[in-house]
Amino acid sequence: MADSTASTTSRTVPSHEDRPVYVIGGGPGGLAAAYALRARGVRAVVLEKSDQVGASWRNHYDRLHLHTTRRLSALPGLSMPRSFGRWVARDNVVRYLEKYAEHHGLEIVTGVEVSRVEPAPDGGWLLHATGGRELTGSAVVVATGYNHTPRVPDWAGRDTYTGELLHAGEYRNPAPYAGRDVLVVGIGNTGAEIAADLAEGGASRVRLSVRTAPHILRRSTAGWAAQYTGIAVRRLPVRLVDALAGPVCRLSVPDLSAQGLPRPSTGLYSRVNEGSIPVQDVGIIDAVRKGKVEIVAAVEAFEDHKAVLADGNRIAPDAVIAATGYTRALEGMVGHLDVLDGRGHPVVHGGRTPKNAPGLYFTGFTNPISGMFRELALDAEKIAKAVARHAAKS
């Protein structure tokens, strides 16, 4: 484990006089940024609130694999082993992150959570952290992750529901739901995959609550990964990508309208720009076609131990799994710096810093169709270049 290896972990936090770049978060984005900085001769110290690197990946459901290819998901300076296969499993992602920290000799402090970042009186940045620590850094990279704090809608009557209600972040595998009636709320990639997992794993009935029909893509078609297309079209005009994507989707994905999942009326890339990433098929298409996963309307409330749906129907599942997303939860840490937009996302990412907060960088807060790990790797290099350039001018 990276946090228990002397060569990769610093047990004492550097003093105020020794001003490294502090990287907040020991996930893939934070580790990549720390390596890229070190590769340019800049000392970087990773602050991770848990006791291990890759904490969020350790807590994902068992079935999860990267939806991006192994080759295009490696972080700077270390390839993923071919033995991991084309689509890397969750446990192998964790192994890779551990090896990455060890291989590069990264300086990681575990058990330290940063609660607030503010400009230091004499320049640089002051971090308020666990145990009353005050750390002074020359720059800060915030890499606390896209999926930080589970979000469960405040449905009316939610507290009166007597069945099991949990967020998708607490779901691990279908074993506890064998023989049970389960409602999954939300058809993003997580909700779709959990629904398919439950259907294959022995749940007696699986329903998937959908508010807005998503675009669904095959993860790979004739060996061509959807990620390749995502990379190719990312810089093209939105209207052009929308026009090209329509026929491709109709040819590769069957019409599921009869099963309650019509094709979206808006373009694929238009939806991406609104923050809605296409669902990559890892079993949901067949599950819906075969009736193993039933599509139902959005959940509006709970009443008399039942879920009230947008179409007026009421259902009484044994368990409800809310695949309703996460918040970035950055307001307490940096909200006072005026560096977040109306959705709580950083206004910049990668090698750019906010005009009013020079030296404050963000990575991992976008969800690109070209692949999260790939973009984290690119962001890391951009951040390191910007930091090194600023240091050279100082």
Q: If you average pLDDT over residues 208-215, what whole number do you get?
A: 95
Q: If you average pLDDT over residues 349-370, what whole number do you get?
A: 94
Helix residue spans in 215-371 (DSSP H): 226-233, 238-252, 268-273, 284-289, 331-334
pLDDT digits (tens, 9 = 90+) for 106-116: 999 999 999 99
Whether residue 10 has pLDDT greater than 50:
no
For the residues of 349-373, what is the DSSP string, one character each? Answer: -TT---TTSTTEEE-S----TT-HH
pLDDT for residue 11: 37
d(CA 356, CA 279): 37
pLDDT for residue 174: 98
d(CA 233, CA 211): 27
368 pLDDT tier (thresholds 50, 70, 90)? confident
pLDDT digits (tens, 9 = 90+) for 315-351: 999 999 999 999 989 999 999 999 999 989 999 999 9
Q: If you average pLDDT over residues 24-34, what whole number do you get?
A: 98
Q: Across all residues in the chain, what is the average pLDDT?
A: 93
Whether residue 164 has pLDDT greater than 60:
yes
Token digits of residue 312 = 């007026």
d(CA 114, CA 134): 9
pTM, entire model = 0.91
DSSP, collapsed to helix, strand or coil, labels residue 333 as helix
pLDDT for residue 258: 97
pLDDT for residue 17: 43
- Go through the domains of the chain in sequence order and give each one's CATH number: 2-148+328-393 (3.50.50.60), 150-322 (3.50.50.60)
Contact 239, 267 (CB under 8 A): yes
DSSP, collapsed to helix, strand or coil, labels residue 251 as helix
pLDDT digits (tens, 9 = 90+) for 371-384: 999 999 999 999 99
For the residues of 278-296, what is the DSSP string, one character each? Answer: PEEESSHHHHHHTTSSEEE
Whether residue 148 has pLDDT greater than 90:
no
pLDDT digits (tens, 9 = 90+) for 49-88: 999 999 999 999 999 999 999 999 999 999 999 999 999 9
15 pLDDT tier (thresholds 50, 70, 90)? very low
Q: Which residue has the tokens 């084309």?
A: 86
d(CA 249, CA 218): 9
pLDDT for residue 18: 63
pLDDT digits (tens, 9 = 90+) for 228-277: 999 999 889 999 999 989 898 888 899 999 999 999 989 999 998 887 88
